[in-house]
Amino acid sequence: MQTSAARVTMIPAYSRPSAAGPVGLPAKKRVAGYARVSTDSEEQLTSYEAQVDYYTRYILSKEEWTLVEVYTDEGISATNTKKRDGFKRMIADALDGKIDLIITKSVSRFARNTVDSLTTVRQLKEKGVEIYFEKENIYTLDSKGELLITIMSSLAQEESRSLSENVKWGQRKRFADGKVTLPYKQFLGYEKGEDDLPKIVEKEAAIVRQIYALFLEGKTPHGIAKHLTQSGIPTPAGKTKWLTSTVESILTNEKYKGDALLQKNFTVDFLTKKMKPNEGEIPQYYVENSHPAIISPEIFDLVQYEMKKRKESGRYINGLGCFSGKIICGECGGTYGSKVWHSATKYRRIIWQCNHKYKSGTHCETPHLYEAAIQQAFVDAFNSLISNKDEILQAHADIMEALTDTADLDREFAKLQDEQDVVVGLMQKCVDENAHAALDQEEYLRRYGALIERYEAVKSGLARISDQRQERGVKREITLRFLNELRQQDTIIMVFDEDLWHTTVETATVDGMGGITFLFKSGTEIKIQPKVGI
């Protein structure tokens, strides 16, 4: 039996009638335009406005199209799509079935990240949404569309990488030239001056000086943040609540003394824009006297010294009262803490005792002290200083001269700098020889390793001398502040003065009999036996 040949009948395609339009008429394609420029320059804004006008007119000129919207992003880089609000809103509308076709200028206007570009194109393709790139004449639903998109996106991504490298080169060139810029909108105390250099804003600078003064008076960064918040002083970002980290950042930023350490952070990946602290991967530049200072170098160094000392000793960590962290147990070396006795009665008293007094295995025998007794003991100790003021001032004249003379350190520093230059030259020569000649690699590594050790030794020496310089300067500043305070006191004091306590006292050590030895910041020690019953 012979079978008949198969017969194929073509069924023509046709457009489904639109629910919104008259039956029998083809549905109009819903079309959106997308325009973006990556900078806020006047020239780019003109291009941006021209794109919006062009797409509006172009889409409206097509009878078979209906304009949904021209979505826009202004002044935004395209290396990823995370911050592009107009773009994200357009994609959301397309995925919700509100758009059939998106028209944009080129692949590079759409995205410079291949992954972002292809992910978005495929998402839209699954929903039947097409993208048309005018410059490349690509329709994404065309059979060749995705291959072309992949190629063009990769080229655009490489263009973005090249641009990013150029920008980084420009930034590093500015750093090498010592040109300083600040994030002025979030940087307290400065604004951009006429010469493009930081200019002091005196109203804000007064807040910076207040922060430094409060810290040197004994307050912790947390206490300073609380004080500024309660005083209604706005933060650098204009907020009402100060954070401890903000205060610490102000206290440790060298720009407040007129210097600038450039390239503290750098961009790891041009696509993700991920930043990381510079830990030696790329050069840094320290520019001295780069702009007007709000804080003197002496005060800035004093704050760094004080902050380091507090962290190392574990003291001043809570800032609860002026005595916190300054009263030392003569038996165990720990600090005294405050406690309230009879808090709910008329006999309420604040006492200070060793924090280890009742800890298991220690039980320090040093007695507790009433706060009033400590205050009176300080008054007696300071009055003893005043009675011998002339002798103290004379004795410290020679000390101040020794602290001011850094000629020996300067000579040693210059010698080590010359040594460092020589070692760097030898290291470069060693590398060059290995690159241009067939050297024994074990010998090369031995030579290079020896040079590295020599370099590290020189580097450590330079750091040591820098620390010694700073320490002398800090001691000089501390002594000066103490002596100036002493000069201003012509008569004995009658009551406890908290500011005077902060300015003059380093520590107060309690012995087993309750005696207090006050160590003043000049190095002078005076022992007082508090009065019983205070």
The closest alpha carbon to 500, from 487, 478, 488, 485, belongs to: 485
Confidence of residue 377 (pLDDT cuts 50, 70, 90): very high
Q: Which residues pair with 72 in a beta bridge?
A: 35
pLDDT at 9: 44
pLDDT at 18: 40
d(CA 36, CA 34): 7
Identify the three-state secondary structure at position 267: strand
Least confident of 112-121, 160-169, 291-300: 160-169
Confidence of residue 375 (pLDDT cuts 50, 70, 90): very high
pLDDT at 430: 85
Q: What is the mean pLDDT of residues 8-34?
A: 58
pLDDT at 231: 92
pLDDT at 14: 41
Q: What is the mean pLDDT of residues 434-439?
A: 76
pLDDT at 271: 43
pLDDT at 522: 78
Least confident of 271-280, 284-293, 362-371, 377-386: 271-280
Task: Give the C-alpha distances (Å, rounded to integers) separating 170 from 180, 181, 278.
Answer: 13, 13, 18
- Domains in the chain, ordered, with CATH? 29-163 (3.40.50.1390), 184-313 (3.90.1750.20), 327-528 (no CATH)
d(CA 145, CA 125): 11
Tell how strand 505-510 and strand 369-370 pair up. unpaired
pLDDT at 5: 56
d(CA 284, CA 265): 9
Task: Return the higher-pLDDT residue of 531 and 372.
Answer: 372
Q: Are 471 and 305 in contact (CB under 8 A)?
A: yes
d(CA 385, CA 90): 77
Residue 272 has pLDDT above 70, yes or no: no
In this predicted model, what pLDDT tens digit does every residue of 158-196 receive, in sequence order? 555 555 454 444 444 454 455 566 777 888 998 888 777
83 DSSP 8-state letter: T
Confidence of residue 509 (pLDDT cuts 50, 70, 90): very high
Q: What is the mean pLDDT of residues 391-408?
A: 73
d(CA 46, CA 44): 5
pLDDT at 45: 45
Identify the three-state secondary structure at position 167: helix
pLDDT at 290: 78
pLDDT at 15: 42
Most confident among 77-81, 118-122, 458-462 (mean pLDDT): 458-462
In this predicted model, what pLDDT tens digit does every residue of 344-357 receive, in sequence order? 787 788 889 888 88
Q: Are 339 and 348 in contact (CB under 8 A)?
A: no
pLDDT at 393: 76
Q: Are 140 and 149 in contact (CB under 8 A)?
A: yes
pLDDT at 94: 94
Confidence of residue 103 (pLDDT cuts 50, 70, 90): very high
pLDDT at 162: 54
Residues contacting 290, CB < 8 A, separation 6+: 178, 180, 197, 258, 259, 260
In this predicted model, what pLDDT tens digit does every residue of 450-507 receive, in sequence order? 998 999 999 899 989 888 887 777 777 777 777 787 888 878 888 888 878 887 888 8
> What is 236-260 written as a DSSP string?
TTS-SSPPHHHHHHHHH-GGGGT-E
Share of the chain above pLDDT 90, in %: 21
Q: What is the mean pLDDT of residues 233-252?
A: 91
Q: What is the mean pLDDT of residues 102-120?
A: 73
φ/ψ of 95, rounded to 5, equals -70, -25
- Tell me the whole-structure pTM to 2 decimals: 0.51
Q: How many residues comprise the chain?
A: 534
In this predicted model, what pLDDT tens digit does every residue of 306-349 receive, in sequence order? 888 777 765 544 455 678 788 999 988 888 888 888 777 877 88
Residue 32 has pLDDT above 90, yes or no: yes
Confidence of residue 403 (pLDDT cuts 50, 70, 90): low
Placement of tokens 């994609």 in the chain: 91
* Average pLDDT of the chain to the nearest whole number: 78
The first and second tokens of residue 522, run together, are 């000049």
Residue 385 has pLDDT above 90, yes or no: no
In this predicted model, what pLDDT tens digit does every residue of 274-285 receive, in sequence order? 666 655 555 666
CA dihedral 200, 205, 206, 207 (to 10 degrees): 160
Q: What is the mean pLDDT of residues 71-85?
A: 63
pLDDT at 482: 79
The closest alpha carbon to 315, from 340, 339, 336, belongs to: 336
